[in-house]
């Protein structure tokens, strides 16, 4: 199978399963399985870098800027669905060129200033390339969504040599994550009456949560200043 073969050619799975061609089926799926494995490896590289920084902060300053790191590889159905949504045939080559978020990392920080500190330190590392940066904290989405999104390039080292991978790294505070998780769940509730009123309430909550983040940051800065 070449890089440019559609990952699931129409009807091929059914034909192969029905005719008992398991080996052929596996061969067809292999490039996609490899792509997913490469993305898993990229996730491990990013996660290790973030854990190293958190450990270093803990040792030097007795403080952990990162509360939690969550990683996920986008599931195959979401990959195919996103490619169809973009109107692009889901070949391995097209998927690699088009999607930046097959490898996704979510970094939950204690305070807003930690987000920028960790993001800057990470992207300054000489094996990392910053491909794009969307600051939805400085410029929240109209619905109130806040996070810092980076697309980074990161190498993985295979038996065949170095391969550059992409990963989406989303940075949020605990409060922003709380809001985004609930808002994401609520989005899936359809047939909601008064959806405009609900959106307005969610936006109000996002703004209130942002105020609390800012106040908590100010309290921390005050404590640090007072204990010098």
106 vs 172: CA distance, rounded Å: 8
Tell me the closest approach of the beta carbon of residue 92 to ligand 0O2, in angstroms: 18
Residues in touch with ligand 0O2 (CB under 6 A)? 101, 104, 134, 141, 143, 145, 149, 180, 183-184
Tell me the closest approach of the beta carbon of residue 179 to ligand 0O2, in angstroms: 8
Tell me the closest approach of the beta carbon of residue 141 to ligand 0O2, in angstroms: 5
Beta bridge partners of 6: 91
- Tell me if residue 67 is catalytic: no
Between 12 and 183, whose beta carbon lies closer to ligand 0O2? 183
86 vs 155: CA distance, rounded Å: 27
Tell me the closest approach of the beta carbon of residue 132 to ligand 0O2, in angstroms: 8
Q: What is the DSSP letter of 174?
A: H
Residue with tokens 């109000």: 204
Residue with tokens 């993001």: 119
Between 84 and 184, whose beta carbon lies closer to ligand 0O2? 184
Active-site pick, 24, 67, 113, 168: 168
Q: Give the other-Cβ count within 10 Å of 97's Cβ.
A: 11
Question: And the tokens for 23?
Answer: 């080996």
Strands (E), 121-188: 129-135, 148-158, 161-173
Q: Which residues are catalytic?
A: 168
């Amino acid at each position: 199978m070449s890089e440019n073969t559609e990952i699931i050619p129409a009807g091929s799975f059914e034909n192969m399963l029905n005719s008992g061609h398991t080996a052929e089926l596996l061969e067809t799926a292999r490039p996609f399985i490899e792509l997913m494995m490469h993305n898993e490896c990229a996730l491990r590289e990013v996660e290790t870098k973030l854990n190293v920084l958190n450990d270093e902060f803990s040792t030097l300053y007795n403080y952990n800027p990162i509360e939690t790191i969550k990683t996920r590889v986008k599931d195959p159905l979401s990959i195919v669905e996103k490619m169809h949504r973009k109107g692009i045939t889901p070949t391995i080559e097209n998927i690699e060129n088009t999607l930046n978020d097959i490898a996704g990392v979510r970094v939950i920080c204690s305070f807003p200033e930690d987000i920028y500190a960790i993001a800057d330190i990470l992207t300054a590392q000489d094996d990392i390339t910053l491909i794009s940066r969307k600051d939805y904290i400085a410029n929240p989405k109209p619905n109130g969504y806040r996070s810092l999104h980076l697309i980074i390039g990161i190498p993985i080292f295979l038996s065949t040599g170095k391969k550059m991978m992409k990963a989406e790294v989303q940075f949020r505070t605990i409060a922003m994550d709380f809001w985004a998780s609930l808002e994401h769940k609520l989005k899936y509730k359809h047939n909601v009456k008064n959806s405009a009123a609900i959106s307005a309430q969610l936006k109000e909550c996002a703004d209130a949560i942002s105020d609390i983040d800012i106040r908590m940051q100010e309290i921390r800065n005050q404590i640090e200043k007072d204990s010098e």
